[in-house]
A = this chain, B = another copy of it.
């Protein structure tokens, strides 16, 4: 065998020498790139993702400049642009992190440093892993034990049965949402359309662009605290149907970037609308723990309460470990529940997920902790409750604080932040500022956000990144800066705005 290879190698080398030495003595043909901006996937070129757009890149630059001693009118950047709680100082939940540490390095289980329920949970999770190690692949749709934990969580939350086989664990809600959106790509028939709220979380517009699906906007009603109205849905449906076959409807509840919590009646109306039009509902419910006013009603629950025939509507509900009180963005955990999905479709979805191997086992372990937190009487119960309540209470205070401050400011109005992690205040911009923005080739709200960043170090996201009604301007700020920093930020913001208004009066 060896001799064979060597012989053929020799022959090949000789071939090459003659072929390439010949060209090298002549002018060498310049290499033509296989991949250029001209022949790149046009959907990728179109794709925009405002939350990580130019402003975000500028923040990274500014932080480096500050670190290198460049003089600025501020000492630090305040990142109110990303829903990244722990980056803003929120502490993780002890129980979750103890379990992660124990299953990662089970030797510490013998150290006597961990509560009993942490040890028990860790052993239970390890037992459910191949070779009792988190280093093994799990099933691509998640560890069975943890899918069952999620089913129990949902049953307890809703008071209706949940089938663990309808639950698929994902490395963050985005992955699940993208996987489901992709199912609708179908160029054999009329182009598929998906109804998306405006303002929306730009994962949706980005993914629809990526998959070449048609985005059909419907407007949230700002004067009704960002509720959906039947009239607006119907109008959007009628308009959109001219260009595509609308097959799905995205609802984000609690709202991102808008912070509303939908009433049960509103959700009933949406489900009935979806029934009427045969739409698949994407219920983005990743902020289901972040409720500061009102009550969270899952689409699954309302669908069950409505009963026949509305309980036939197809629904995928998405949940993430990155939000809520745990804020474990870096650990990439989440789930989706698939309700009423055609079994053949589900089999195909799962098949496509299997080709992606598995979501991180440690992200799945976070899901288990959140779906099945310590119970009364267990060692970690008190601490878990205290930590969870403290985070949620503090977020509630900050939600109130931020809304009140913006409503006090001339030229601002801000809906009540009932849930999620964001305020989306509306801002009146002076005519001169709008003109200056146009001159600079920027949207007026982008212009404002860049000025704010360069002058104060505060980073917010302009409303145009999420979409907004024509002629209105907004921005999204998180409610995540810890209380003292939040006060400082609001104070700086106030001063900046007064100066900005003066400059462009």
Contact = CB atoms under 8 A, between A and B. Distances in A.
Interface of A: 1, 4-5, 8-9, 12-13, 15-16, 20, 24, 28-37, 39-45, 47, 49, 52, 60, 82, 84-90, 92, 97-98, 100-102, 104-105, 108, 111, 113, 129-131, 133-140, 171-172, 174-175, 178, 182-186, 188-189, 202-203, 206-207, 210, 223-225, 227, 229-230, 247-248, 263, 265-266, 268-269, 272, 275, 278-280, 308-309, 312-314, 322, 326-332, 340-342, 344-345, 348-349, 351-352, 354-363, 416
Contacts of A341: 35
A264 to B, nearest CB: 10
A52 B357 CA distance: 9
A84 B241 CA distance: 48
Contacts of A20: 272
B189 A39 contact: yes
Nearest to A349: B44
20 contacts: A5-B227, A5-B263, A8-B227, A40-B344, A40-B348, A44-B352, A45-B348, A52-B140, A86-B133, A92-B133, A98-B105, A104-B104, A111-B113, A135-B330, A178-B356, A182-B210, A210-B355, A322-B357, A330-B358, A330-B362
Contacts of A98: 105
A204 B97 CA distance: 36
A42 B188 contact: yes
A138 to B, nearest CB: 6
Nearest to A182: B41
Nearest to A28: B309
A250 B242 CA distance: 42
Most chain B CB neighbours (cut-off 10 Å) among A13, A139, A332, A349: A332
A280 B36 CA distance: 11
A52 B265 contact: no
Contact of A360 (B28, B331, B354): B331
Given A1-B224, A31-B313, A332-B359, 15 more contacts: A1-B225, A29-B309, A33-B314, A33-B340, A34-B280, A35-B247, A39-B189, A85-B135, A86-B135, A87-B137, A92-B133, A137-B329, A171-B360, A202-B355, A206-B355
Contacts of A278: 31-34
A455 B360 CA distance: 33
Given A86-B131, A113-B108, A37 B344 contact: yes
A87 B130 contact: yes
A332 B279 CA distance: 35
A37 B345 contact: yes
Contacts of A97: 104-105
Contact of A332 (B88, B348, B360): B360
